[in-house]
């Protein structure tokens, strides 16, 4: 219980935290966002590639575990759907910002 409380007290989002006091330049923020986005897209691509690989192996008779193939395909599908929904949300947020009057 004490560890949990200490974990909360060390939350980086809290204003007294050492991490919250650090400043990030716009260029660093841009690079961090770009790297995060690139990693997320690579993860979606890897999930799709793994699903395709297992589906092809099942069709060729190289593996017999249909459940594993279906689970992998479903994970890839959910990952892709999530990324598409995030894209929609980002575009909606951008459009709302662009419509704001100054």
Structure confidence by residue, pLDDT tens digits, 55-85:
999 999 999 999 999 999 999 999 999 999 9
32 found inside a domain: no
Determine the Cα–Cα distance for residues 38 and 45; give it in Å rounded to an integer: 10
21 found inside a domain: no
Question: Are 30 and 15 spatial neighbours (Cβ–Cβ below 8 Å)?
Answer: no
Query: Tens of pLDDT along 12-58?
Result: 555 555 655 678 898 998 899 899 999 999 999 999 999 999 999 99
Question: Are 44 and 79 spatial neighbours (Cβ–Cβ below 8 Å)?
Answer: yes
6 found inside a domain: no
98 found inside a domain: yes
Backbone angles phi, psi at 85, to 5 degrees: -65, -40
Question: Are 73 and 49 spatial neighbours (Cβ–Cβ below 8 Å)?
Answer: no
Q: Which domain holds residue 71?
A: 54-102
Per the structure, the count of domains in the chain is 1
Determine the Cα–Cα distance for residues 30 and 33; give it in Å rounded to an integer: 5
91 found inside a domain: yes
pLDDT number for residue 5:
47
18 found inside a domain: no
């Amino acid at each position: 219980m004490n560890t949990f409380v200490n974990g909360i007290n060390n939350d980086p989002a809290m204003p007294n935290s050492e991490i919250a006091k650090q400043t990030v330049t716009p260029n660093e923020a841009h690079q961090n966002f770009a790297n995060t986005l690139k990693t997320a897209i690579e993860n979606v691509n890897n999930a799709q590639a793994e699903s395709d690989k297992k589906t092809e192996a099942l069709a060729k008779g190289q593996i017999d575990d249909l459940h594993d193939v279906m689970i992998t395909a479903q994970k890839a599908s959910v990952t892709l759907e999530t990324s598409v929904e995030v894209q929609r949300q980002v575009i909606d947020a951008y459009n709302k910002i662009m419509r704001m009057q100054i």
